[in-house]
Amino acid sequence: MNTPAVAVRGLVKRYGAIEAVRGIDLEVARGETFGFLGPNGAGKSTTINILCTLVEPTDGEAEVVGLDVVRERAAVRRRIGLVFQDPTLDAPMSGEQNLRFHQELYGVDRRRAPARREEVMRMVGLWDRRADPVATYSGGMRRRLEIARGLLHSPQVLFLDEPTIGLDPQTRGTIWDYVAELHRNAESQEDGGITVFVTTHYMDEAEHCDRIAIMNEGRIVALDTPDALKAQVGADRVTITTDDDEAALRALRTEFGLEGAVREGAVSIAVADGAGFVPRLFDRLGHHRVAIRSVTVTRPSLDDVFLAYTGTTIRDAEAGPAASRGMHPMAMRMRGR
Ligand SMILES: Nc1ncnc2c1ncn2[C@@H]1O[C@H](COP(=O)(O)OP(=O)(O)OP(=O)(O)O)[C@@H](O)[C@H]1O
């Protein structure tokens, strides 16, 4: 049995009167791509900084690949890679020089160093540009170089704090392609492979994660796979256009005991499993001679999940607390815990 990539128990961090992290528990398996979401000030960066040994916890325990982040700090550092929000590349130096500098800093075996540089630069598609100064790189290329640098010493856990912030959608996609590739490689490895622990403000990106934790006001308020989280917040919505909406509503009531609603010329019904419901719907409405002209099934999105658990949309959360909406009942419940 592999030790988990990350194990956190009762973790607390206080800055004076501010309790940034209020007792969280968390376990991330080897090879997992784990997403960390939450509004500004939720405590995500503080948690990541503790895991990376950059900040000491006030209370509780945190281990990375079985090593204590306080007592075995140096050993943890050798096994992790970091890509943080603030760029730390040396712009006048070439891409490859930046990586060489990092290898010297970390005492990477000199004989293996050039081959490893080539390997990681090829992986992020920068080998052809290796001799150019970083100053000539685009924002996306710089981020890719930072990811390459984070991978240089073959870490077991890669921490990415908002790796795609400020990048255009296409470049964001490319960065996630690399993360997916790391994930695929991880699956074929005996020790479970590299674990990716990533924070993001983009809900579409959170979909790439095996599991997601949503943090709010220092606590983890939800933790599961994207699909399970979506299933928790609500039903699928099936919307049909028919040749007789009133007859459709009556049929829904008598056949399924469901109350539909007519909105914008279509009948809308909330059901647990939309895709499974559609064939039965066609069958039963056919019996009532109601013709269905079109059907759409909408599943709850991760935006809905975020709103349900934090009382704010991710966009409002980015704009600041003043823009927050009223608290959703589920968020109220979670807060009361
Ligand atoms: N060094 C520090 N000194 C004092 N307070 C701090 C410090 N670092 C963080 N905090 C406070 O702790 C709380 C959590 O901050 P943190 O940066 O962990 O949140 P976050 O979820 O990462 O937010 P963001 O999405 O904005 O990065 C905030 O209230 C913040 O002001």
Q: What pLDDT does residue 324 have?
A: 37
pTM, 2 dp: 0.79
Domain boundary among 174, 197, 229: 229
pLDDT at 188: 67
Average pLDDT, integer, range 142-170: 87
Distance 310 CA to ligand 1 centre (A): 17
Ligand 1, atom 17: nearest CA belongs to which residue? 45
Mean pLDDT of 305-323: 66
CATH code of residue 44 = 3.40.50.300
pLDDT given for residue 286 in this prediction: 92
Both 112 and 252 in one domain: the answer is no
**Which atom of ligand 1 sits closest to the CA of residue 43?**
18
The structural domain count of the chain equals 2
Two tokens at 98? 């930046």
Mutation test of ligand 1: which of 11, 12, 14, 15 has the most ligand atoms closer than 8 Å to its C-beta? Answer: 15
Check whether 202 has a pLDDT greater than 90: no
Cα radius of gyration rounded to whole Å, the chain: 24
Cβ atoms 74, 151 nearer than 8 A = no
Ligand 1 centroid distance, CA of 163 (Å): 18
pLDDT in tens, 21-34: 999 999 999 999 99
- From the alpha carbon of 55, which atom of ligand 1 is closest? 1
Rounded (5°) CA angle 192-121-97:
125
User: Is a pLDDT exceeding 80 seen at residue 86?
Assistant: no
Compute, in angstroms, the gap from residue 179 CA to the centroid of ligand 1.
Answer: 26
The number of the ligand 1 atom at minimal distance from the alpha carbon of 46 is: 18
Q: Looking at the domain assignment, is residue 48 inside a domain?
A: yes
Left, alpha or beta for 107 (phi > 0: left; psi -120 to 50: alpha)?
A: left
**176 in the same domain as 69:** yes
- Give residue ranges with CB within 6 A of ligand 1: 15, 18, 20, 38, 40-46
Closest-CA residue, ligand 1 atom 3, reads 15
Percent of the chain with pLDDT over 70: 90
Q: Give the per-residue pLDDT at 175.
A: 81
Residue scoring higher pLDDT (314 or 305): 305
Whether residue 306 has pLDDT greater than 90: no
Question: Taking 90 as the threshold, does the pLDDT of residue 99 lie above it?
Answer: yes
- The ipTM assigned to this model is 0.95
Question: Which residue's C-alpha comes closest to atom 8 of ligand 1?
Answer: 46
Please state, in angstroms and rounded to a whole number, the distance separating the CA atoms of residues 150 and 147: 5
Q: Which domain holds residue 254?
A: 235-298
Average pLDDT, the chain: 86
Q: In which band, very low, low, confident or very high, does the pLDDT at 311 lie, cut at 50, 70 and 90?
A: confident
Among 208, 229, 250, the domain-final residue is 229
Domain assignment present for residue 321? The answer is no
Is the pLDDT at 220 greater than 70? The verdict is: yes
Asked whether residue 321 carries a pLDDT value surpassing 70, the answer given is no
CA of 161 to the centre of ligand 1 (A): 13
Statement to judge: residues 245 and 116 lie in one domain: no
Query: Does one domain contain both 155 and 261?
Result: no
Indicate which CATH number applies to the domain containing 271: 3.30.70.120
pLDDT at residue 233 tops 80: no
Distance in angstroms (rounded) separating the CA atoms of residues 269 and 258: 8
Give the residue from 229, 245, 264 where a domain finishes. 229
Task: Using the predicted structure, report yes or no on whether residue 315 has a pLDDT greater than 70.
Answer: no
**Residue from 21, 45, 86, 160 to probe ligand 1 pocket by mutation (most atoms less than 8 Å from CB):** 45
Kindly state the tokens that stand for 159: 């921490």
Average pLDDT over residues 51-68: 96
Q: Which residue has the higher pLDDT, 148 or 263?
A: 148
| Across 57-61, 71-75, 203-207, 283-287, least confident range | 203-207
pLDDT one-digit tens code per residue, 107-133: 778 888 999 999 989 988 899 999 999
At 285 the pLDDT is: 92
Mean pLDDT to the nearest integer, 148-158? 90
Residue 274 placed within a domain: yes
Q: Same domain, yes or no, for 94 and 24?
A: yes
* pLDDT average, residue stretch 210-217: 94
